[in-house]
Structure 1
Amino acid sequence: MPVLSKSAALMTGLMAFVSNANPLGLSIPGGLIPHIPGVTEALVGIVPPLPILQVPTPALPSPEFTPSDIKPKKIGYFWTGSGDNNHKDFLATVSLDDDTFGTFIEITDVPTSGNSPHHLSPSADGKTLLGGGLLSILKTQDSAFYFDVSDPYRPKFLKSNRAILSNVVDEIRAKPDGGFFITYMGSALGTSPGRLVETDADYNIIHEWPEDVEGTLNILGQQFSPHGLSIDFEKDIILTSDFVVPLSILKPSLGPVYADTLVLWTLSTRKIISTIKIPNGGGIQDVKFIPGNPESAALATAVASGEVWVIYPFRKNADGSQGVAELLYDLGEKAKKSVAIYSDISDDGRLAYFSITLGNHVAALDISDLNNVKRLDDENEQQPIIGPHYVKISPDKKNLLVTGYFVQAGDISVFNTPADYKAHWIDINEDGSLNFNRTIDFETYFTRDRGGARPHSSVIFDLTDPENPVWY
Structure 2
Amino acid sequence: MTSLTATVCLALALVCIHSAGLASAAKPAKPAPIPPPTYLYVWAGATDPSKAKDSLFVVKVADGTIVNTVETSFNGLEPHHCRVSVDKRWLGCGGLLAVLSGLPSVHFFSLADPALPVYVPDVPQPQHGAIADEFLTTPEGGFATTMMGSETGGSPGRVVLYDKDLKLVGEYPEDVSGDKATGLNPHGIAIDWKRDTAVTVDYMEPASTLVGNTLAVRTTVRLWDTRTWTIKETVDVGKTGGAGILDVQQVGSTPGYFFTTHTGQMYYLDSRGPAPHVPVLVYNITEPGTSPLSEQIHSFRNGKRLFLGNYLESKVLLFDTSTPLRPRLLDTLQLAKGSGAHMVMLAPDGRTGVVATYFLDEGAAGQIHLAGDSTVHVFKIDGGAKRFLTKNRGAYTLDFKTLFPAKGAFRPHGVAFL
Report the counterpart of residue 449 of structure 1 in structure 2.
406
Report the counterpart of residue 259 of structure 2 in structure 1.
300
1:141 lines up with 2:93 in the alignment: no
Q: 1:238 aligns with which of 182, 198, 201?
A: 198
Report the counterpart of residue 345 of structure 2 in structure 1.
392
Report the counterpart of residue 310 of structure 1 in structure 2.
268
> What are the Cα deviations for residues 72-122 of structure 1, in whole angstroms up to 9, with x where unaligned?
96210111111224531111000111xxx1111111112211111000011
- Whether the 8 Å contact between 1:180 and 1:200 is mirrored in structure 2 is yes
**Aligned amino acid, residue 258 of structure 1:** V
- Whether the 8 Å contact between 2:360 and 2:370 is mirrored in structure 1 is yes
1:91 lines up with 2:56 in the alignment: yes
Gaps of 5+ in 2: 1-35
Q: What SS does structure 2 have at the residue aligned with 1:323?
A: coil
Counterpart Cα distance in 1 of 2:98 and 2:401: 22
Q: What SS does structure 2 have at the residue aligned with 1:376?
A: strand
1:263 lines up with 2:263 in the alignment: no
**Aligned amino acid, residue 459 of structure 1:** A
Report the counterpart of residue 458 of structure 1 in structure 2.
415
Report the counterpart of residue 383 of structure 1 in structure 2.
335
1:172 lines up with 2:104 in the alignment: no
Q: What SS does structure 1 have at the residue aligned with 2:227?
A: coil
Q: 1:251 aligns with which of 186, 211, 221?
A: 211
Deviation above 4 Å: which 4+ runs of structure 1?
Answer: 334-337
Q: Give the TM-score, by structure 1 length.
A: 0.75
**Aligned amino acid, residue 167 of structure 1:** A
Report the counterpart of residue 55 of structure 1 in structure 2.
none
Q: 2:308 aligns with which of 345, 354, 362?
A: 354
- Whether the 8 Å contact between 1:264 and 1:323 is mirrored in structure 2 is no
Counterpart Cα distance in 1 of 2:85 and 2:293: 29
Question: Quick one: structure 1 residues 397 and 73, their matched pair in 2 at CA, closer, same or farther if it must change by over 3 Å?
Answer: closer
Report the counterpart of residue 102 of structure 1 in structure 2.
64
Question: Quick one: structure 1 residues 218 and 89, their matched pair in 2 at CA, closer, same or farther if it must change by over 3 Å?
Answer: same
Counterpart Cα distance in 1 of 2:273 and 2:192: 16
Counterpart Cα distance in 2 of 1:298 and 1:199: 24
Quick one: percent identity of the two aligned structures? 29
Q: CA deviation at 1:303?
A: 1.2
Q: CA deviation at 1:393?
A: 0.5
Q: CA deviation at 1:161?
A: 4.2
Q: What SS does structure 2 have at the residue aligned with 1:291?
A: coil
Report the counterpart of residue 16 of structure 1 in structure 2.
none
> What are the Cα deviations for residues 108-163 of structure 1, in whole angstroms up to 9, with x where unaligned?
11221111100001112111001000010110011111100111111111124421
**Aligned amino acid, residue 260 of structure 2:** T
**Aligned amino acid, residue 231 of structure 2:** I
- Whether the 8 Å contact between 2:286 and 2:292 is mirrored in structure 1 is no
Q: What SS does structure 1 have at the residue aligned with 2:189?
A: strand
Q: CA deviation at 1:186?
A: 0.4
- Whether the 8 Å contact between 2:37 and 2:347 is mirrored in structure 1 is no
- Whether the 8 Å contact between 1:192 and 1:223 is mirrored in structure 2 is yes
Counterpart Cα distance in 1 of 2:375 and 2:167: 33
Larger radius of gyration: 2
Q: 2:282 aligns with which of 312, 319, 328?
A: 328
1:416 lines up with 2:378 in the alignment: no
Report the counterpart of residue 297 of structure 2 in structure 1.
343
* Cα RMSD for the two superposed structures: 2.0
Q: Give the TM-score, by structure 2 length.
A: 0.85
Report the counterpart of residue 225 of structure 1 in structure 2.
185
Q: What SS does structure 2 have at the residue aligned with 1:377?
A: strand
Gaps of 5+ in 1: 1-71, 462-472
Number of aligned residues:
373
Report the counterpart of residue 278 of structure 1 in structure 2.
237
**Aligned amino acid, residue 188 of structure 2:** G
Counterpart Cα distance in 2 of 1:382 and 1:151: 35
